[in-house]
Amino acid sequence: DTAVSQTPKYLVTQMGNDKSIKCEQNLGHDTMYWYKQDSKKFLKIMFSYNNKELIINETVPNRFSPKSPDKAHLNLHINSLELGDSAVYFCASSQGTGGSPLHFGNGTRLTVT
């Protein structure tokens, strides 16, 4: 019974394509996040959702759009993929908006060719 699960684990696609990564958490948390880990292993927040509202939106290209159908899901849609989008994307969740640790999924390795 995985707490935070994301699919697919690996995603290989060509430049210009549109793709989605799905994330689900069964912890009952009310905040979900997307993080990107680049080639330098730097984990950087992209988005977070609290009660279906976007509360953090770092300076990511608008080709990236989070979609949250309910508080247990936060999907990441990426349009017009570019080579520089290749990275590992982690979904995470937490309870509340401050002072609680993040629980991460196992990551999706996106490779754009």
Partner 1 sequence: DQQVKQNSPSLSVQEGRISILNCDYTNSMFDYFLWYKKYPAEGPTFLISISSIKDKNEDGRFTVFLNKSAKHLSLHIVPSQPGDSAVYFCAASDLNTGNQFYFGTGTSLTVIP
List interacting residues with partner 1 (CB under 8 A): 4, 31, 35, 40-45, 48, 55-56, 90, 92, 94, 96-107
The residues near 16 (Cβ < 8 Å, ≥ 6 apart) are 80, 81
Least distance between partner 1 and beta carbon 12 (Å): 16
Least distance between partner 1 and beta carbon 44 (Å): 7
Q: Measure the CA–CA gap between 7 and 106, rounded to whole angstroms.
A: 9
Between 44 and 67, CB nearer to partner 1: 44
Between 41 and 62, CB nearer to partner 1: 41
Between 5 and 79, CB nearer to partner 1: 5
Least distance between partner 1 and beta carbon 102 (Å): 6
Least distance between partner 1 and beta carbon 98 (Å): 4
Q: Measure the CA–CA gap between 2 and 97, rounded to whole angstroms.
A: 22
The amino acid that residue 107 corresponds to is G
Are the beta carbons of 95 and 32 closer than 8 angstroms? no
Between 45 and 72, CB nearer to partner 1: 45
Instruction: Return the percent helix, strand and coil in the chain, to nearest 5.
Output: 5, 55, 40
